[in-house]
Amino acid sequence: MTSPGPGRPRHTGPLRPGATGREQILDAAAELFTTHGYARTSTRAIAEAVGIRQASLYHHFRTKDDVLEALLTSTVTPTLPVAHAVLRVPAGDAEHAAARLYALALHDGRELCRTRWNLGALYLLPELRAPRFVPFQTARERLRQCYVRAGADVVARTGGPSQAGDLAFRLVESLVNLRADGRATADSPAQVAEGCVRLACWSGDVTPVARSGEEMLRDISAALLVPAG
């Protein structure tokens, strides 16, 4: 007599993109959280979307909150090294300072738009007020401060509004809403980056600013070994 197996086996082929089980779990969770809602998604549903048993999911994540935290962190931490590198570039004159802000906004915008699922839509979840998400909120605040510093360097040379950097940060995050409405295009990050420069009262031609910003990103990306976009 054949004894029953330990439970439903994993599907023979991966149902999700990802080189590891963890990456496949995150992809499934990202889809479910952004399309069905965080509160309505169970760990069982995530496991089923990957093709594994629920118990197997717990080898990678102890709770659903752990999954959410990993997804949120992935929207900020890749940008922080680039943001810090941008700020290490001397601001120089008004045009070069504007190019730094452009480079920061362009890279951040591309990161928000390149993911398979619109993870930025999770930023407004009420669950994020819980203490366990303080590390993510701290990382996001560090990124915002990079915008504040980059914007301040521009307005010091253009006489723009003191809140230009903070406004630029929020303008870049508006790409999340564009994606949600199906209106984001490949040009959207560059268009938003230009808007950030205009917020800081750069009134000159944006073309050389954009060109310098792109070149800055290529140099930084090569040094950090990260994609330039």
Strands (E), 87-184: none
Whole-number Å distance between alpha carbons of 121 and 104? 20
The pLDDT tens digits of the residues spanning 166-204 come to: 999 999 999 999 999 999 999 999 999 999 999 999 999
Judging by beta carbons within 10 Å of its beta carbon (0-12, 13-18, 19+), is residue 92 exposed, middle or buried? Answer: middle
What is the CB-side half-sphere exposure of residue 206 using CA atoms within 13 A?
16
Whole-number Å distance between alpha carbons of 201 and 209? 13
List b or e across 108-117, with b for residues whose CB sees 16 or more CB atoms inside 10 angstroms.
Answer: bbbbbbebeb
Whole-number Å distance between alpha carbons of 91 and 149? 10
109: helix, strand or coil: helix
The pLDDT tens digits of the residues spanning 60-107 come to: 999 999 999 999 999 999 999 999 999 999 999 999 999 999 999 999
pLDDT band at 7 (very low <50, low <70, confident <90, very high): very low
Q: What share of the chain is helix, strand, coil (3-state, %, to 5)?
A: 65, 0, 35
Residue 1 pLDDT exceeds 50 = no
pLDDT band at 19 (very low <50, low <70, confident <90, very high): confident
Report the amino acid identity of residue 124.
Answer: L
Place of tokens 């031609």: 205
